[in-house]
């Protein structure tokens, strides 16, 4: 190959490599913006539904269960079950994992519903006045953090952040962080303590007790 031809070929190769590097960056930017908007939409829709339920006259302890189907539709329960169990997921038996999934689903949904009762304190007024979406930002490669604030009438503002993970249809909630306290981190720490002390059977026994107490 002549020197000119070799130089031309190298330039084409460099140009192609540069294009391959730049195109993903260009392609990801609109997706990141859309992901933030989609995550905010999920959070706002869920809060809309909670506010509507509270506007019907409030909810007693038993009626808070009505939140569970709404939360289940907007969360990835299988992923959360794995994350909460951590490395112990790989060593549990199939029978233990089957029971764990069932118990964790009930436990998580009731825990989430309990945390979202904070919204009830702010729902004494219009949603536009008492609930604000402050911002959303990427967290890691696949997650979006939606930062919100509740403004109750009789107490200081309450910071509630929602971590969502991208899915083909729309983001799903994988963590709820109230005043800086992560539900997922708290659960994982509590589970790890039980697992170190009593193993997987001990954790299952603990979850059975918590689910029964909640019922």
| Residue 194: burial class (beta carbons within 10 Å; 0-12, 13-18, 19+) | middle
Q: Are 118 and 150 in contact (CB under 8 A)?
A: yes
- Residue 92, helix vs strand vs coil: coil
User: Residue 3's pLDDT is what?
Assistant: 41
81-113 burial, b at 16+ Cβ within 10 Å, e below that, comes to bebbbeebeeebeeebbebbeebbbbbbbbbbb
Instruction: Report pLDDT digits (tens) over 158-167.
Output: 899 999 998 8
Q: Are 54 and 82 in contact (CB under 8 A)?
A: no
* Domains in the chain with CATH codes: 30-214 (3.10.450.710)
For residue 142, give both structure tokens: 């696949």
CA angle 156, 120, 139 (to 5 degrees): 70
pLDDT at 83 exceeding the cut of 50:
yes
2 secondary structure, DSSP code: -
Instruction: Report pLDDT digits (tens) over 5-39.
Output: 443 343 343 333 333 333 333 333 344 433 789 99
Instruction: Report pLDDT digits (tens) over 87-124.
Output: 999 999 999 999 999 999 999 988 887 777 665 555 55
CA 199 from chain centre, in angstroms, equals 27
User: Residue 5's pLDDT is what?
Assistant: 41
Share of the chain above pLDDT 70, in %: 74
Higher-confidence residue of 188 and 153: namely 188
Radius of gyration in angstroms for the set of CA atoms belonging to the chain, rounded to a whole number: 23
166 vs 160: CA distance, rounded Å: 20
Q: pLDDT confidence of 152, banded at 50, 70, 90?
A: confident
19-47 burial, b at 16+ Cβ within 10 Å, e below that, comes to eeeeeeeeeeeeeeeebbebbbebbeebb
């Amino acid at each position: 190959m002549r020197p000119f031809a070799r130089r031309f070929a190298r330039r084409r190769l460099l140009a192609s490599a540069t294009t391959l590097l730049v195109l993903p960056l260009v392609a990801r930017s609109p997706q990141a913006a859309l992901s933030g908007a989609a995550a905010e939409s999920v959070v706002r829709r869920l809060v809309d539904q909670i506010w509507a339920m509270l506007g019907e006259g409030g909810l007693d302890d038993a009626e808070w269960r009505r939140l569970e189907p709404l939360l289940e539709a907007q969360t990835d329960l299988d992923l959360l079950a794995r994350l909460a169990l951590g490395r112990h997921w790989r060593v549990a038996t199939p029978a233990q994992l089957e029971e764990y999934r069932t118990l964790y689903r009930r436990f998580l949904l009731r825990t989430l519903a309990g945390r979202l009762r904070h919204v009830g304190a702010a729902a004494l007024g219009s949603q536009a006045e008492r609930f604000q979406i402050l911002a959303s930002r990427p967290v890691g490669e696949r997650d979006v953090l939606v930062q919100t604030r509740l403004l109750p009438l009789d107490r200081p503002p309450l910071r509630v952040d929602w971590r969502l993970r991208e899915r083909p249809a729309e983001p799903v909630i994988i963590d709820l962080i109230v005043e800086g306290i992560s539900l997922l981190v708290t659960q994982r720490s509590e589970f790890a303590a039980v697992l170190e002390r009593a193993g997987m059977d001990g954790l299952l026994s603990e979850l059975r007790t918590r689910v029964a107490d909640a019922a």
